[in-house]
Structure formats: C-alpha cells, structure tokens
Amino acid sequence: MDWVIHPLIQYGLLAVVLSACLCLFLATRKEQVLDSKVVHAELGQVRSSLDVLRLQVGQLERRLCAAEERVEEPPPSLLPVPGMNLTRRSQVLRMARRGDEPGRIAAELGLPESEVELLLKVQRILTASPAEP
C-alpha cells in the first residue's frame, strides 16, 4: 500500500503548489487591472489639462498679436544712435588737435564723453607705438 500512498502525496503537493501559483497569478492580474484603471483616469485628467493649456496659449497668442498691432514706433529721440563713423572720428581728432577738451568735443558733436575719451586714448596709443616694418 506504500506504493499507492507515496505517489498520491506527490500529486497532492503538486496540486497545492499549482493552486498557489494560480492564486498569485490571479492576484497579480487583479492589481494590473486596477493600475490600468488608475492610469486611464490620470490620462484623462492630463488630456483635459492639456486642452485647457492649449486654449490659454491660443488666447495669449491672440493677445500678443493685438498688442503688437497697438505698438507704435518709438520717437526718433529714443532710437539708438548709430556707432561713430569715420567723419565723426576725424572731427573728434581734429578738435582734439586744436586743443578742445573731451567734454566740449562730446557736447558739440552730440557724443558721450566716455566715447570721445576712449577714441583719444586709442589714438594716443596708436601714435605712440612704433611703426611696424
């Protein structure tokens, strides 16, 4: 009778292990279904938030276009003054050779005094350096 009981014990243990595996599989599948429902709900929220953001961006674009249309050209006095051209440079150097002060030169030519001083310093450096061969 030992030969009959021994295989039954093996098959019984096999059945217990297989049913435990089946329970674990079903529990895992249940968690997966619940997680997918949560993900779908969050995806719906993200899509609705994205739609709201798209509407807001569209409104901002329209407001920007309207604001750009309302913007006027700045008056000429507020436009940036172009850099010093060669004529101005030569005028500055000519006045400096006559003995005029940088402040007076800047006032007469409508230039910043720091720019006139910089130009005079560069000119002094160029005239003081030895000529290259």
pLDDT digits (tens, 9 = 90+) for 54-95: 999 999 999 998 888 887 765 555 555 555 577 888 888 899
CB 107 within 8 A of CB 95: no
The answer to whether residues 8 and 49 belong to one domain is yes
Q: 23-46 in b/e burial notation, b at 16+ Cβ within 10 A? A: eeeeeeeeeeeeeeeeeeeeeeee
Domain that holds residue 110: 76-128
Global pTM reads 0.38
The answer to whether residues 39 and 58 belong to one domain is yes
The answer to whether residues 51 and 95 belong to one domain is no
- Total domains, the chain: 2
- Higher confidence at residue 110 or residue 4? 110
